[in-house]
Amino acid sequence: MGVRVVGGEVPLGRRARTAKLGQLAAGQAMRGVGRRLSMIGRTEEARQVLAERSALTTAQQVVAVLGSMKGSAMKLGQMASVLDLDFVPEAHREQFRVQLAALQDRAPAVDFPTMRAVIEADLGPLARVFAEFDETAVAAASIGQVHRARLHDGRVVAVKVKYPGIDRAVRADIENLEFLGKMGRSILPSIADSGVLEEIANNLRSELDYAREARTQHRVARRYRDHPFIVVPDAVLEHCTGTVLVTEFVDGQPFSHLRTRSAAERDRYGELIYRFYLGSLFVDNEFCGDPHPGNMLVAADGRIAFVDFGLYHEMDSVHVEFERSCLRAAAEGRAEDLYRAWVGRGIIDPDAAVTVEECMAYVWAVTGWHLLDEEVTITPEYATGALLLAADPRSADFQGIHKQFLPPEHVFSRRADLFTFATLGQLRATANWHQLAREWLYDEPPSTEIGRAIADWRSGREPGR
């Protein structure tokens, strides 16, 4: 039996999960046929109304099915929700994005008695650890759901609990990569490539390791302790297990609230998001491989909080320096140097039909937003275009590049770059991103008020903190 959830059961086996996706695909196809037939003889206005209803119905079904399945399928929905979706007419894309955004932190939750059994299997009776425990989940994501609680010492905490059977479900999804690829084409063509799906599978394996995540979050929280603009809630290590993750609770507003702020405020938070997700790679040789709006909150004091460290990765300094040197070569127009670096790293086969000019054009098409030394406003359309150019093997552009090999150690960093870009697109944030990047590309002093305040904070911290 699957685990009961709002609206159905979590299918755990490979056949059951394949059937669930198959039912969704078949339902979309039948609804499409029915819609076309119903439009015969109708006015344009009526057709537009019918199309809108069909779009909303399909989006709601996508959310319901992917949300109830959790695991890899839900991760596809989370990724798609930050992009400018091109699988529906442009007039209806925002409606789809709103529906898919529900997968960021409002997916259907598993009933509390089931989750209580999971917690108590690891920690013992709830009353032994918690003075209070809210049975209603405050967030539900792809691997587990989060409850608010209070420890006996008075600390308010977030308790993330892994869904029972999710390990088996993820293994089934990994075996179903080919089928998920077909499903992905109806949502976002660029995630249908088997290499990208394998990368998603590897990510999910990492996310299943709550003990590792707790240690990582504790380390990163210490690094950002007392930061003037950023909050990372600390893990309460003595209560963390392989299935339960207990961290400090951040009482804040979701990312969607940021989209309603003034342009100046959105730009300010955009700079902080950029610094946290991309600057950390070059400053600390570490980065989060899962930038999406569901992992960000605006705390009561105005700072931005980052949560979920299941996909936080360390990167060898040699590989970091390689990425730094390539970005500098592209920014400075040194196409030959960029090409030689890629050939030397094994990214490009020197006998392949990939030119020096194509390499430079590809880098600028994908990452030009923070190579160009002028203000750039990032839009959802711009961000999606860059991601499709980078990852969609069907694209007519850069066919030679798409056939080349990106070493595994660079796949995560490219994902962090592209999905940070997509998240900033949701804010329509404006900045001279290149001037920000020069701090870690060229070791230059900060050019913004935020950057200078962070530099002052760092200089005042005790060594080793």
Inside any domain, residue 343: no
Cβ atoms within 10 A of the Cβ of 121, count? 12
199-241 pLDDT, tens digit per residue, is: 666 666 777 889 999 999 999 999 999 999 999 999 999 999 9
For residues 290-305, average pLDDT: 90
Residue with tokens 């090409």: 339
Q: Flag whether pLDDT at 273 surpasses 90.
A: yes
Q: Which backbone phi and psi does 246 adopt, to 5 degrees?
A: -110, 125
Rounded to whole angstroms, how far apart are CA atoms 31 and 37? 10
* 2 DSSP assignment: P
Which of left, alpha, beta for 10 (phi over 0: left; psi -120 to 50: alpha)?
A: beta
Q: What is the pLDDT of residue 407?
A: 65
Task: Give the global pTM.
Answer: 0.73
Rounded to whole angstroms, how far apart are CA atoms 293 and 235? 21
4-14 pLDDT, tens digit per residue, is: 343 334 455 54
Task: Report the percentage of the chain scoring pLDDT > 90.
Answer: 41
For residues 293-310, average pLDDT: 92
Inside any domain, residue 204: no
201: helix, coil or strand? Answer: helix
Inside any domain, residue 303: no
Inside any domain, residue 451: no
355-372 pLDDT, tens digit per residue, is: 898 888 888 888 888 898
Structural domain of residue 78, as residue ranges? 3-103
Q: What is the pLDDT of residue 411?
A: 65
Residue with tokens 């796949």: 411
Q: How many domains does the chain have?
A: 1
Of 297, 266, 247, whose CA–CA distance to 379 is shortest? 266
Rounded to whole angstroms, how far apart are CA atoms 235 and 157? 9
Rounded to whole angstroms, how far apart are CA atoms 55 and 66? 16
Cβ atoms within 10 A of the Cβ of 400, count? 15
Inside any domain, residue 79: yes
Instruction: List residues bridging with 376 in a β-sheet.
Output: 431
Q: What is the pLDDT of residue 154?
A: 97
Q: Flag whether pLDDT at 252 surpasses 50.
A: yes
Inside any domain, residue 58: yes
Sign of CA dihedral 435, 441, 446, 450: positive
Inside any domain, residue 228: no
